[in-house]
Amino acid sequence: MSVWTVLLAAGSGTRLASAAGGVKKQFLRLDGRPLYWRSLRAFARCPEVAGVVVVFPPADLAAAQAELDALRAREDPGVAVVTAPGGVRRQDSVASGLAALPRACRFVLVHDAARPFADPPLIGRVIDALLAGKKAVIPVLPVTDTIKEMSGGVVARTFDRNALAAVQTPQGFELSLLRQAFAHAGEDFDVTDDASLVEHFGQDVTTVAGASENRKITNPEDLALLAASPAVAVPVVGYGYDVHRYADPARPGKQPARPMKLGGYPILGAPEVLAHSDGDVLLHALVDAILGCVAGGDIGALFPDSNPDFDNMASGVFVSEALLLAKSRGLAISHVDLTVICQIPRIGPHAQAIRLNVAALLGLDRSQVNVKATTEEGLGFTGEKKGIKAVALVTGWRQAGQDASAAPGS
C-alpha cells in the first residue's frame, strides 16, 4: 500500500519577506540546509513512505531542483524524490503535486514545508490511521486560548474552546478520495487546508494527536525557532569483524607473535597471535563497528599495518582515535555487543573482565556492553584451533546532517 508525500514548498512567504532579506521561507537555512530539507528527511525516515514530491515555485524550480540534486548526492534520503511546479493557490500547488504521484500510490500525505519540525512519530500516527481504514486524517492540538468571533471591532460571539482544535500538517488521505474532493470543489472554492476539500465533499475527517513542537514558520518572530532548533538525532548501527591466526612455534610467521589480549585484557596461557599491532582481535572488530556508525571507513585505512609506527601498538589507542572521529561526526554510542569465536581458549572465565575493560575504554556503563563467546563446533579455521575471530555490533545516535566526509575536528 504505497504512501507518498506531497511537500509544499511553493509559497511566496510575503509575511516574512522583509525580515528574511527577501528569501522565501522554504529556502531559509536550517542546519546549513534549506528549510524544506528537514521535512523531507523526516518523511524519508518513515518506513511506509515510498517517496516525496516537492512542489517549488515555478520561477525557482530550476535552481531549487539543482540544489535538491546536490543535497541528495551528499545525503541520500533513501526514498524516491521528484519535483513539481506550484500554482497560484495552495490547492493549485497540491493538485500539481498529486499529478506527479506514481500510479501505484494509494495514500498521500500533504505537508507544509513551513513546518520543519514534524517528526516520524507524528507522521506515523497519521499513516497508522490511514492503514487502519480511515480515509482522511489530520493531526490536531487542543485550543488553549479563548476564541471570539469579531464583527465591526466588537465581539459577535464566543466559541466553546472545548469543541475547537488547531489543525496541523501532515494531513493524510486516500488518494482517490482527495482527487474526488478536488474535482467536486471546482475552481471557485478556496481553502487553507486540504481536509476542508474533503469536508466540503461530505466525507468524515478523522483526527489524531498533533505535536506542540510542529510549529509553522509564518511571522518574523518565528525566525527565532530556526536559530534555536535542536539537532535531530537518527539511530545508527555499525558492524565490525576481525580474525587473527595463532602463532605456530614450529613455523615462524612473517608477523611477530603477540601475547593474546581481548578487549585490552590479557588472556594468560592462551595461544599467541600473529599481528602487526598488539593483535587484539576484539578491539579491532570494535574499531570497525565504531567507524561503521559514521561512514568512517575501516581500521586498515586509518591504521595501516604497513606503517611501522603502529608496530605492537596497544589497540586501545585505535579505539580512542576511532571514538574521536566518531564524536566529531555526531555519534553517541548507546550499546555495544561483542562476540568472540574460538575453540581455544575458554572465554567464559574472562568475559566480565573484558566487559568492564571495554566499557571503561568507551566511557560507557557496563550495562551498555555485552561480551559473549561461542565455538564453531570443531569446524573451519577456529574449530581447528588455528585462530580466533571477533564480531562487534555498535548501536547509537548520530546528529543528522553531520558531514560523513569531514576529518576529525573539521
Q: How confident is the model at residue 406 (pLDDT cuts 50, 70, 90)?
A: very low
In whole angstroms, how far apart are CA 189 and each of 95, 166, 181, 197, 220? Answer: 14, 21, 11, 8, 30
In this predicted model, what pLDDT tens digit does every residue of 285-319 receive, in sequence order? 999 999 999 999 998 888 887 777 777 788 999 99
Beta pairing partners, 177: none
| Res 405: pLDDT | 47
Q: How confident is the model at residue 409 (pLDDT cuts 50, 70, 90)?
A: very low
Q: Do residues 315 and 362 lie in contact, with contact meaning Cβ atoms separated by under 8 Å?
A: no
Residue with cell 572465554: 347
In this predicted model, what pLDDT tens digit does every residue of 67-77 receive, in sequence order? 999 999 988 99
Residue with cell 603502529: 310
CATH topology of domain 2-227: Spore Coat Polysaccharide Biosynthesis Protein SpsA; Chain A (3.90.550)
| 222, pLDDT greater than 80 | no
Instruction: Cis check for the bond before 345: say yes or no (omega within 30 of 0).
Output: yes
Cα separation, 224 vs 166, in Å, equals 22
CATH code of the domain made up of 233-399: 3.30.1330.50
| Res 407: pLDDT | 40
What is the tally of helices (H) and strands (E) in the chain? 12, 20
Q: How confident is the model at residue 386 (pLDDT cuts 50, 70, 90)?
A: very high
C-alpha cell at 143: 485550543
In 143-195, at which residue ranges do the beta strands (DSSP E only) sit?
148-151, 154-158, 165-167, 171-174
Cα atoms found within 13 Å of the Cα of residue 22, Cβ hemisphere only = 0
Break the chain into its structural domains and give their ranges: 2-227, 233-399
Q: Reduce the DSSP state of residue 281 to 3 states and report it.
A: helix
Cα separation, 101 vs 107, in Å, equals 10
In 17-153, at which residue ranges do the beta strands (DSSP E only) sit?
29-30, 33-34, 49-56, 80-85, 105-112, 136-142, 148-151
Mean pLDDT of all residues belonging to the chain: 88
| Res 403: pLDDT | 52
In this predicted model, what pLDDT tens digit does every residue of 22-66 receive, in sequence order? 567 787 877 778 889 999 999 999 999 999 999 999 999 999 999
Q: How confident is the model at residue 379 (pLDDT cuts 50, 70, 90)?
A: very high
Question: For 85-100, what is the mean pLDDT?
Answer: 93
Q: Do residues 236 and 398 lie in contact, with contact meaning Cβ atoms separated by under 8 Å?
A: yes
| 193, pLDDT greater than 50 | yes
Cα separation, 53 vs 376, in Å, equals 50
| 141, pLDDT greater than 80 | yes
| Res 231: pLDDT | 58
Alpha helical stretches, state H, 205-336: 223-227, 281-293, 299-302, 315-328
| Res 109: pLDDT | 98
